[in-house]
């Protein structure tokens, strides 16, 4: 991002976000800004934006949440660090990068899996990462995590990303699909939602290239300020509890989650020239895939918690492939604070599942 782009983002945050938190004691009913690193509020965000609002999960915790979409994970984490937002759900590598400059933030919970994948059309002759030698890999931008992920896939397979493959910025959606269709690129480095859309535009299914990097976990995190945990633990735990209740709902009934999403954020619905049934089917598949990757309890048996060894392995992978500048130690770093896990896991999962099953538009 250019210097002027950074200035614009900071100005937008200052104008568009409401400072919250940091006061003395829990502030039930106070406006609580939740930043989302997805400007378009695509289907992947439904479980943690519209569902907890529409189903009253935030309200039942005494928090009045305002969802604020921003352009990137670093911007979302920065909004929390500067007090412009109370919480965000963003990539762990963005949280680590921000924390290494400003240790005022903390990760209070993580979700399973990794949404990043290097994909090819179903009929592509590329079957393994070794087959990428001499090929061109597309990505939204070359500065993003997805491009670094793709370079890591090549490296893990014994190749040299600087010599054995070429990388080309081809954007998202139709632009990326056209690049694959026109053979400008042979593979695409993206994440779950955009990869589904690209496949639909090409009339095929996008196939994952097998890689150890696909097995990373805990790569998305709920981030707040340490001060909020100390002074407003009830509000922090309540928001995270609402987050996971909405995740359970969305896993059980992704179609309901999408309909709720379009009701809350009609601007996120596809253009009117797309048949309603087609748009709904695609959105449901996108959300269902996101839930398959990130949903469910962690290896510890609790929502939001992954053991130190699992997180440390992911952080080491980030560092190895330049997704962060330097590794940190999970136990001693001070970034991770799961002390509220017992509180935010205190909800009736079966009751939420039944609510999802019975939901009607």
The DSSP output letter for 143 is: T
- At 169-201, the pLDDT tens digits run 999 899 999 999 999 999 999 999 999 999 999
**Mean pLDDT value of segment 146-175:** 94
Pair (266, 291) in one structural domain: yes
Domain count, the chain: 2
DSSP bridge pairs for 220: 91, 111
Range of the domain at 102: 3-114+217-358
Which residue, 194, 215, 236, sits at the end of a domain? Answer: 215
Residue 361 burial (CB count, 10 A): 7
Pair (228, 330) in one structural domain: yes
Q: What is the pLDDT of residue 162?
A: 93
Q: What is the pLDDT of residue 14?
A: 39
Pair (162, 302) in one structural domain: no
| Mean pLDDT score across all residues of the chain | 90
- At 227-278, the pLDDT tens digits run 999 999 999 999 999 999 999 999 999 999 999 999 999 999 887 777 889 9
Residue 73 pLDDT greater than 80, yes or no: yes
Lowest average pLDDT, out of 37-41, 108-112, 248-252, 346-350, goes to 37-41
Pair (109, 11) in one structural domain: yes
Residue 280 pLDDT greater than 90, yes or no: yes
Q: What is the pLDDT of residue 30?
A: 59
Percentage, residues of the chain above pLDDT 90? 83
Pair (269, 121) in one structural domain: no
Name all contacts of 333-339 with Cβ < 8 Å and 24+ positions apart.
333/99, 334/103, 334/106, 335/95, 335/96, 335/99, 335/103, 335/105, 335/106, 335/107, 336/106, 336/107, 336/311, 337/106, 337/107, 337/108, 337/226, 337/229, 338/108, 338/109, 338/304, 338/305, 339/229
What's the pLDDT band for 144 if we cut at 50, 70, 90? confident
Q: What is the pLDDT of residue 360?
A: 87
Question: DSSP letter string over 44-70?
Answer: GGTTTTHHHHHTTHHHHTT-EEEEEE-
Pair (55, 95) in one structural domain: yes
Q: What is the pLDDT of residue 10?
A: 36
The DSSP output letter for 329 is: -
Pair (157, 186) in one structural domain: yes
Pair (85, 96) in one structural domain: yes
**Mean pLDDT value of segment 95-112:** 96
Which residue, 189, 215, 241, sits at the end of a domain? Answer: 215
Pair (90, 224) in one structural domain: yes
Which residue, 167, 193, 215, sits at the end of a domain? Answer: 215
Pair (30, 69) in one structural domain: yes
The whole-angstrom separation of Cα 125 and Cα 123 is 6
CB of 283 closer than 8 Å to CB of 298: no
Residue 7 pLDDT greater than 90, yes or no: no
Q: Which residue bears the tokens 């009701």?
A: 263
The whole-angstrom separation of Cα 194 and Cα 180 is 14
Which residues neighbour 338 within 8 Å (Cβ) at sequence distance 6 or greater? 108, 109, 304, 305
Q: What is the pLDDT of residue 300?
A: 84
Output the domain CATH number for residue 208: 3.40.190.10
3-class DSSP state of 168 = strand
Pair (81, 225) in one structural domain: yes
Which sign, positive or negative, has the C-alpha torsion 77, 79, 83, 85? negative
Lowest average pLDDT, out of 13-22, 26-35, 56-65, goes to 13-22
Residue 290 pLDDT greater than 90, yes or no: yes
End-to-end CA distance of the chain: 42
Pair (40, 84) in one structural domain: yes
């Amino acid at each position: 991002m250019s210097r002027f782009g950074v200035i614009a983002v900071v100005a937008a945050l200052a104008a568009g976000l409401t400072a919250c938190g940091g006061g003395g004691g829990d502030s039930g009913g106070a406006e609580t800004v939740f930043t989302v690193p997805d400007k378009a509020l695509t289907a992947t965000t439904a479980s943690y934006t519209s569902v907890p609002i529409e189903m009253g999960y935030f309200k039942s915790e005494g928090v009045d949440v305002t969802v604020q979409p921003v352009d990137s994970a670093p911007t979302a984490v920065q909004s929390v660090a500067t007090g412009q937002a109370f919480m965000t759900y963003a990539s762990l590598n963005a949280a680590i990068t921000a924390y290494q400059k400003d240790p005022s933030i903390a990760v209070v919970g993580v979700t399973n899996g990794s949404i990043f994948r290097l994909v090819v059309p179903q009929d592509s002759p590329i079957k393994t990462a070794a087959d990428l030698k001499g090929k061109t890999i597309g990505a939204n931008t070359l500065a993003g995590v997805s491009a670094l992920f793709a370079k890591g896939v090549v490296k893990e397979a014994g190749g040299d990303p600087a010599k054995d493959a070429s990388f080309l910025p081809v954007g998202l959606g139709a632009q990326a699909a056209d690049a694959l269709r026109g053979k400008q690129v042979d593979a695409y480095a993206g994440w779950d939602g955009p990869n589904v859309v690209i496949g639909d535009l090409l009339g095929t299914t996008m196939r994952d290239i097998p890689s150890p990097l696909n097995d990373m976990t805990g790569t998305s995190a709920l981030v707040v300020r340490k001060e909020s945990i100390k002074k407003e633990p009830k509000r922090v735990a309540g928001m995270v509890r609402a987050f996971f209740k909405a995740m359970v709902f969305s896993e059980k009934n992704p179609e309901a989650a999408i309909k709720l999403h379009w009701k809350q954020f009609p601007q996120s619905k596809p253009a009117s020239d797309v048949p309603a049934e087609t748009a709904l089917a695609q959105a449901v598949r996108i959300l269902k895939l996101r839930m398959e990757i990130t949903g469910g309890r962690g290896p510890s048996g609790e929502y939001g918690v992954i053991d130190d060894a699992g997180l440390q392995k992911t952080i080491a992978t980030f560092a190895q492939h330049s997704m962060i500048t330097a590794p940190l130690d999970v136990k001693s770093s001070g970034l991770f604070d799961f002390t509220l896990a017992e509180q935010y896991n205190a909800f009736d999962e079966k009751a939420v599942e039944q609510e999802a099953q019975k939901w009607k538009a």
